[in-house]
Structure 1
């Protein structure tokens, strides 16, 4: 926790009493320092979590009159103007649970989302590439014939979500809200007790520097009654608060891409049901996940070793498509061979030798399970990318006049698709905490006012992050030894016990 002045330790002495007690004190400032612009809530970071917090505060009657600001280094004008053709999709896609959708509806952001670019799915097929054991989560079995299919999650691009949140904030009006994009926080420091002015000695003061293309000129110094860090894994706000983190790097990368699919062999039943697929590939370093998008597209997240990720990104589009199809269909020895194949040279291509030929030949000798996804027929140009996988958890989410949300507080393995949902859970809890403080006449930045927030979120995030970490390690043990046997037995048992399976499905909904 960062060091603060003694005034921070006496938060319940009213300012008039405190100044009265020292009114005879001589002040020696020859020229008073300029008082910074004062805000109730300042959020650093303009991603979904930061914008979600602003939208939540603006949507509540209790907090809509707070003076709030958001500082973002990127150009949010591009986010507002973001637009792609209906057959094109960003490769940064998130899976929103029903509880996250409910939160977005409650704050009025969901109606601004382009629904034609969002895709619900009602079934998940998960299986082990080593042992073949599998589990299926079918929400249609939980739905009566007279109601809509229950949704496990809704896929949408992060850019679609950011644009919707910006539209919701704009809809709330411009009074008491300031958004400074293309603006950098150069430093954060403790304030001072200003002569003949406010005592800001316990408040964070941000020194900001707009770039030449800044949308609106930010003041050079901003004081925050409550400073919120929504500024990612390397959070400057967390560093200023002197909050430590625990965690490790997985030495794995997540390869993402936007894929076009062939038409399914048979129409889904019930009509309209969409399926997500995940296959664990222990010998290759992690699972491959295949999540539906509109217009017969899908987004890919393939967790694998750094070397395999580099190899996949080096392939031509045709070779990449072949490797994705192989990852859902071939045995581990076949996959290990194919991912070490040399890229075909011009001479070998002329002789007809390629990844595609290798896959075709091997499929003739490989029995296919019933739960495989449709064949991939195309990959969107420029959509293949990768990012490092890490686990981090902050030792605390709060400090005097500081709160952390989203990746600034926790980063987890993406195999369960819960990262963004945990961030929105933080935002919902923190906005509720601020609302409670306002309604009860409390100081929204005081440490006692903020304690409700980590009490609600810390253990929840630790539990989900820990579960993802255990699954990652469990499903990275290759071969058919006792670990593989145990996890295979576990999947098969869960798939056959309805109340255990129902419990997992309930938790997956958020």
Structure 2
């Protein structure tokens, strides 16, 4: 925890007494003596977590009058005007649980979302690529035959969500709110006990600077925060200022993402309109591959694999890349390992690539059960990768500081819970702030923040730990006792509806 000046910890001294004690003491003006612009809540980071917090505070009648600010290095005007054609989708897509959707509806952001670009799905098929044991997740065990299946999760692009949150914040008006776009935080330090001003010695004071795109006149040089919220990602400067430690490791894996086009379903779904997500664990290749549905026979790909395999996949021309994705859901581990070592096509203009030929021949000699529709295309420029890591902060709070989202925790994406955990943090922190305001408490005091960390730390640790265990369990290749045990466990859970329902309730928040 960061050091706090002794003056901030001493008993309260009224301003008049304090000024009389310093009467006759000569002081020279300096920057530290100048009173910074004071805010109740300052949030660093303009992603879904940071914007979600501001939208939640503005939506509540209790906290709507707090003076709040948001600082973001990127150009939020671009986020406000974001638009893609109806047949194109961003490769940064998230799976929102019902709890996250409920939170967005409660704060009034959901109505600003472009729902034509969202898609709920009602079922998820998961299976082991080594043993072919499988489990299906849906709510059929708790839904009557005369009802539509309940939604497992809803797919939406992160840009769509950011745009909706910005629109909701704008709808709340511009009183008591400042959004500093194209602005960096050059430093954060404890304030000073000013002779002719407030005692800010325990308050975080941020020095701001425009990135070059914003006019310097629009950015105050220094602002003070009664509560500073770090929503600024895995390398959070706010967390460093608060001297909060993190535990974790790198997985030495990369996640490949892409936007794909799919063939039509060969057989109609029942109930009609049911959409399915697919995930197959590929222990011999370093992680699972997932295909999550988007509107209009599109899907988003998330393939966790080794760094070497990720580099190989990104280097392939589109036809060969499509063949590898189709193979990953259909072929055996030896077949996939062979195709991952194939020479790259000499030219991209050929009618068929060696990968397509190899896939066509091997599929004829492979038996497989329920698999996703064949991938027929990949959106240009959508193939990308990112490193996979696990991080968890030792605490989420410090005097006048709170962490949310990736600043507090980063988990493996195999369960699609990263953004949902961040929105859960925001929902919990906004309730803690609301409680403090209702009861006349200082929103930045540790006593006010303790409920937030008590509510979220263990929950996030449990989900992050479960994802870490699953990653390690499903990275043991071959037919061995570990593979047998995980296969047996998957089959048992699939046959016990009440256990599956328990797991799904925990996953949906």
TM-score range, shorter chain: over 0.9
Give secondary structure in 2 for the equivalent of 1:247.
Answer: strand
Residue 289 of structure 2 corresponds to which residue in structure 1? Answer: 288
1:279 is the counterpart of 2:297 = no
Q: What is the count of residue pairs matched by the alignment?
A: 505
What is the TM-score with the length of structure 1 in the denominator? 0.97
Q: Provide the C-alpha distance between the structure 2 equivalents of 1:353 and 1:381, rounded to a whole number of angstroms.
A: 18
Instruction: Tell me if structure 1 keeps the 8 A contact 2:233–2:407.
Output: yes
Residue 212 of structure 2 corresponds to which residue in structure 1? Answer: 212
Q: Structure 1 pair 434/353, CA: closer, same or farther in 2 (3 Å)?
A: closer
Residue 502 of structure 2 corresponds to which residue in structure 1? Answer: 503
Residue 481 of structure 1 corresponds to which residue in structure 2? Answer: 480
Instruction: Tell me if structure 2 keeps the 8 A contact 1:101–1:110.
Output: yes
Give secondary structure in 2 for the equivalent of 1:91.
Answer: coil
Instruction: Tell me if structure 1 keeps the 8 A contact 2:139–2:501.
Output: no
1:190 is the counterpart of 2:187 = no
1:38 is the counterpart of 2:38 = yes
Deviations 1:276-298 (A, max 9, x none): 00000000000000000001100
Instruction: Tell me if structure 1 keeps the 8 A contact 2:317–2:348.
Output: no
Residue 153 of structure 1 corresponds to which residue in structure 2? Answer: 153
Deviations 1:193-216 (A, max 9, x none): 112111111100000001332278
Which shows bigger deviation, 165-174 or 19-28? 19-28
Q: 1:29 aligns with which of 23, 27, 30?
A: 27
Instruction: Tell me if structure 1 keeps the 8 A contact 2:19–2:195.
Output: no
Q: Provide the C-alpha distance between the structure 2 equivalents of 1:332 and 1:133, rounded to a whole number of angstroms.
A: 14
1:427 is the counterpart of 2:426 = yes
Alpha-carbon distance, 1:143 to partner? 2.0
What is the TM-score with the length of structure 2 in the denominator? 0.97
Q: Provide the C-alpha distance between the structure 2 equivalents of 1:43 and 1:289, rounded to a whole number of angstroms.
A: 33
Give secondary structure in 2 for the equivalent of 1:130.
Answer: coil
Give secondary structure in 2 for the equivalent of 1:23.
Answer: helix
- How do residues 68-217 of structure 1 correspond to structure 2 at under 5 angstroms? 68-214=68-214, 217=218
Runs of 4+ with >3 A deviation: 145-148, 346-350
Q: Provide the C-alpha distance between the structure 2 equivalents of 1:225 and 1:493, rounded to a whole number of angstroms.
A: 52
Give secondary structure in 1 for the equivalent of 2:164.
Answer: helix
Q: Provide the C-alpha distance between the structure 1 equivalents of 2:358 and 2:496, rounded to a whole number of angstroms.
A: 40
Residue 346 of structure 2 corresponds to which residue in structure 1? Answer: 345
Q: Provide the C-alpha distance between the structure 2 equivalents of 1:170 and 1:445, rounded to a whole number of angstroms.
A: 25
Deviations 1:14-35 (A, max 9, x none): 452x651562224331226221
Residue 471 of structure 2 corresponds to which residue in structure 1? Answer: 472
Q: Provide the C-alpha distance between the structure 2 equivalents of 1:97 and 1:399, rounded to a whole number of angstroms.
A: 29
Q: Provide the C-alpha distance between the structure 2 equivalents of 1:346 and 1:100, rounded to a whole number of angstroms.
A: 46
Q: What's the RMSD between the two structures over aligned residues? A: 1.5
Q: Provide the C-alpha distance between the structure 1 equivalents of 2:4 and 2:348, rounded to a whole number of angstroms.
A: 69
Alpha-carbon distance, 1:149 to partner? 2.5
Give secondary structure in 1 for the equivalent of 2:385.
Answer: strand
- How do residues 299-448 of structure 1 correspond to structure 2 at under 5 angstroms? 299-346=300-347, 354-369=354-369, 371-448=370-447
Unaligned runs of 5+ in 1: none
